[in-house]
Amino acid sequence: MKLQTKRYLALGTLALGAALAGGAGAPMTTAPASTPLTATAALRDPAGQVLGMARFVQRGMGVQVTVEARGLTPGQHGMHVHEYGRCTPGVDEATNTVVPFGGAGGHFDPGMSKNHDGPQAPNLYGHGGDAPMLSVGADGVGRASFTTDKFSLTGPNGVLNRTLVIHARPDDYKTDPAGMSGARERCGVMTRDNFTTRDYLLPGAQDFPEGVAYDARRGVLYTGSALNGTIYAINAATGAVSKFQEGGALGRQAALGLKVDAQGRLWVAGGAQGTVSILTPGGVTLKVLETPKSPNPYVNDLTPAADGHVYVTDSNRPVIFRVDRDLNLTAWLDLSKTPIKYGPGVNLNGIVATPDGRFLLAMQTNTGELWRIDLRTKAVRRVMTGLTNGDGLLLDGRTLYVARNKDQVVSKVSLTADSASGQLVAEEPLRGLRFPATLALVGGDLVVTQAQLDRNMAGIPPETPFRLTRFGKF
Ligand SMILES: [Cu+2]
């Protein structure tokens, strides 16, 4: 493992680190710059007293960091971004005991390197959260000021709602998991300045909420577990959560895309089971529709359209299914005969219909392409590219919001009147997003799921409680 470290050291520049830091290849598309994003962390001791402050200013795809902390022993102190946004006691994996600030978890590791290293290491080879040490003077005051591309406030390496931790001892920049830097002496949650959100918290340890839909007449938000199929109903006003239908009901092991139709029925995309379930507002399953038997189905999302049909995407099989008013499902469009080319990974995913009943808009996650499909002629047109890791879609007039899971942002796209082309106008990281998967409109606000499915795929425990987050339109 350390051999890789030597390899990068031999090449050794921060610029290389920046180039490799994202790990996923293509750079994230950035919206036009406005006021830079800023965040603050009040640094507390284990008794809860604030004994320092850290400030963060977004600079390009990196961040400028300034830290001042007092009451520390003179000398060098290891300093890192830790995974979770909480400064509570918990198990420290370096010692496997409950320690102050153990709730912050291990080091932030967006490159999944599983390796502790120094502040110059590319994220593929070392934790993204491995920051320069804090130098503490004879007066017990430590100061640090640096700019890094290993982490950022927004994008795939985003640290909003994670923690900055200062340790008792120097960091050797190599020993796993934390460079022998000892006890956690200061901790602060990195909170975005001047931005409000509201969280809806879920009760289950395996909830991994993927889909969300809103029944405006009843004031109820629905969300479902991608891992076990449990569906929750959330009172959007109070946040009270109840189980709407147990996972495993009628064999449903997963709930992905969700939509509420004009009759208040809840439609559920069943993922790898290849099913579409329709539930009454009372939580009774009306029907489970099977897609044609074939290897590797992945029914991901669906949308009712003005023509009375419901259209369904499959991320593995190049076909759009259609459900008619009598709840019969058929293959509607063979995508292999269109410009939409299926490849490895998640293909067609989020889908919405335009209110005029003319078009479907569908997101191809693995290519970042947004497609328009004519409901009358079935003609397919590429609307735009660059929406990497685009997942769920929400259409609000001519504005399309796109949840971009691994990129940890919600993007705002301005569409032309005929949805023939679109332009990325803003990217919103909120106060930190963990794999934002889908969106719903609630009153004048947006609600996004934070699915954390990247963690499930990597075998890393999720941050609990799981949450949906409500925020104003942007
Ligand atoms: Cu640390």
What distance in angstroms lies between residue 114's CA and the mean position of ligand 1's atoms?
13
* Contact residues for 47 (Cβ-Cβ < 8 A; gap 6+): none
**pLDDT surpasses 80 at 223:** yes
What distance in angstroms lies between residue 81's CA and the mean position of ligand 1's atoms?
7
CATH topology of domain 38-192: Immunoglobulin-like (2.60.40)
Instruction: Look at the block and give the residue holding tokens 């999944």.
Output: 112
- What number is the average pLDDT over the span 174-180? 95
Backbone angles phi, psi at 8, to 5 degrees: -70, -35
Q: Domain ranges in the chain?
A: 38-192, 198-472
Residue 3's pLDDT band (boundaries 50, 70, 90)? very low
What distance in angstroms lies between residue 91's CA and the mean position of ligand 1's atoms?
13
Q: Which amino acid is located at 124 in the chain?
A: L
Give the Å distances, CA to CA, from 231 to 109, 243, 245, 463.
31, 6, 5, 19
Looking at domain 198-472, its CATH class is: mainly beta
CA distance 239 to 297: 34
Over residues 306-333, the pLDDT tens digits come to 999 999 999 999 999 999 999 999 999 9
Output the pTM of the full model: 0.89
What distance in angstroms lies between residue 56's CA and the mean position of ligand 1's atoms?
18
Which residue, among 434, 294, 413, has the nearest Cα to 352 in the 3D structure? 413
| 8 Å CB contact between 277 and 270 | yes
Element containing residue 20 per DSSP (H, E) = helix 14-21
Q: How high is the pLDDT of residue 249? A: 80
| 8 Å CB contact between 120 and 14 | yes
Q: Both tokens of residue 382?
A: 């590429």
On average, the pLDDT of the chain sits at 92
Over residues 10-52, the pLDDT tens digits come to 232 233 233 333 333 333 344 445 689 999 999 999 999 999 9
What distance in angstroms lies between residue 448's CA and the mean position of ligand 1's atoms?
30
What distance in angstroms lies between residue 279's CA and the mean position of ligand 1's atoms?
47
What distance in angstroms lies between residue 83's CA and the mean position of ligand 1's atoms?
10
